[in-house]
Amino acid sequence: MNEPFYGNNLKIAVIGGGTGSFTLLSNLKEHTHLIAALVNMADDGGSTGVLRDELGALPPGDVRQCLVALSNSAELRDLFNYRFEDGTLKGHAFGNLFLTALEKVTGDFAKGVEVASGVLNITGTVEPITLTNVTLAMKDKDGKEVHGEFKIGHESFSGQRPDFWLEPKATANPKAVAAIERADIVVVAPGNLYGSLAPALIVPGIGEALAKTSAFKLYVCNLVTKPGQTDGFTVHDFADEIERLAGRPFLDAVLYNTETPSKELLQKYAADKELAVELDEKRVGITRYKLVGANLLSSTIWQGRGADPIASSRTLIRHDSTAVAKAIIDLYEHREGIGES
């Protein structure tokens, strides 16, 4: 276990969902017990999509992954990530069913998450970014509209900056806003830019909270591009989109990887048209936020016990959560003077 910093009292809020948040939370919890995972609520694919369609439930999938990441019980982590392989429950994660059942029993998804947090004995809290039952919507530059996070994830609109919104109009979860306001550090986690991060950042009130909070705010940039959506994106492009989606500038720093993956891995990803995210040297030194590079690349293949297929499927080029967490803490410790670069 890493040595804790600041007596374990550093308040960190992590915005995102899915694998990016899962990876980051798994190690940040070793540095503080005051961690808040703020989770997007637009997922509508797989097990989560079925539960939303058939039971009218709020999406449990990304919330489950964050709960598992912060859990201190290996056995319960395995249980919550277990996916049924046969029968009518095939494809469903036990944790998704558990959270949906808690929502029905308590009549309140947030209360269900709170109960599950106690069962899993998590470090910190998991807060849905909104409790409105929302659908992600998008319009490209040609006026084409697409509705649903899963469908949007399979759209191709490279070279554009589509408009995104939530239907119906969402209301920010007051507990999520409070976590941003009282944080020492707010981290926008790496992850699917338009599938995991956009649905969190575009919730009304979140951008305002990010701009107003006195917290140190940083974005951990993705390692590779997504075909058809972020082709050719540099570190700067990702950061610019993060702020555009939030509706205002707010970042103090952007953390990016400087290590080059092996030639074999790059070729494997390139075959799927996924390329390593690079720095735009022409913009170095002229950004409002501080650009900080470090070796953030994991050199190992995911071997987590009971690993969720979603959390372990993109495991060849991935962040080293220990290195990322250390870099975040180091950045915070040396934050004086950061804001202009």
The 10 Å Cβ neighbour count of residue 248 is 11
Q: Which H, E and C letters describe 146-175, residue by residue? A: EECHHHHCCCCCCCCCCEEEEECCCCECHH
Give the residue among 331, 320, 70, 62 at the shortest CA–CA distance from 215.
331
Per-residue model confidence (pLDDT) at position 313: 42
List, as one string, the DSSP characters of 200-237: HHTSTTHHHHHHH--SEEEEE--SB--TTTSTT--HHH
Specify the higher pLDDT residue, 95 or 281.
Answer: 95
Q: How far, in Å, CA of 58 to CA of 66, rounded? A: 15
Interacting residues of 302 by C-beta distance below 8 A, sequence separation 6+: 311, 312, 315, 318
**Band (341; pLDDT cuts 50, 70, 90):** very low
List, as one string, the DSSP characters of 233-257: --HHHHHHHHHHHHTS---SEEEEE
Residue 232, Cβ density class (10 Å: 0-12 exposed, 13-18 middle, ≥19 buried): exposed
Per-residue model confidence (pLDDT) at position 283: 82
Say yes or no to pLDDT of 123 above 90.
Answer: yes
pLDDT in tens, 20-37: 899 899 999 999 999 999
The single-letter code of the amino acid at 307 is A
Q: How far, in Å, CA of 252 to CA of 218, rounded? A: 6
pLDDT in tens, 88-102: 999 999 999 999 999
- What are the angstrom distances between the C-alpha of 80 and each of 87, 90, 117, 118, 140? 18, 15, 12, 13, 37
Tokens found for residue 157? 């609109």
Average pLDDT taken over every residue of the chain: 90
Q: How far, in Å, CA of 210 to CA of 129, rounded? A: 13
pLDDT average, residue stretch 48-67: 95
Give the residue among 67, 25, 81, 18 at the shortest CA–CA distance from 45.
18
Interacting residues of 130 by C-beta distance below 8 A, sequence separation 6+: 41, 166, 170, 171, 172, 173, 176, 203
pLDDT in tens, 179-230: 999 999 999 999 999 999 999 999 999 999 999 999 999 999 999 999 999 9
Q: How far, in Å, CA of 28 to CA of 66, rounded? A: 12
Please state which of the four CATH numbers 3.40.50.10680, 3.30.300.30, 3.30.300.90, 3.40.50.720 is assigned to the domain occupying 7-333. Answer: 3.40.50.10680
**Quick one: what percent of the chain has pLDDT higher than 70?**
91
Residue carrying the six token digits 């029968």: 87
- What are the angstrom distances between the C-alpha of 327 and each of 52, 179, 255, 296? 37, 21, 8, 9
Per-residue model confidence (pLDDT) at position 336: 79
Q: How far, in Å, CA of 301 to CA of 315, rounded? A: 6
Exposure b/e, 54-71, CB count within 10 A at least 16 = b: eeebbbbbbbbbbbbbbb
Tokens found for residue 146? 């697409």
User: Domain spans of the chain?
Assistant: 7-333
Tokens found for residue 237? 């492009």
The single-letter code of the amino acid at 127 is E
**Band (129; pLDDT cuts 50, 70, 90):** very high
**How many residues comprise the chain?**
341
Specify the higher pLDDT residue, 42 or 317.
Answer: 42
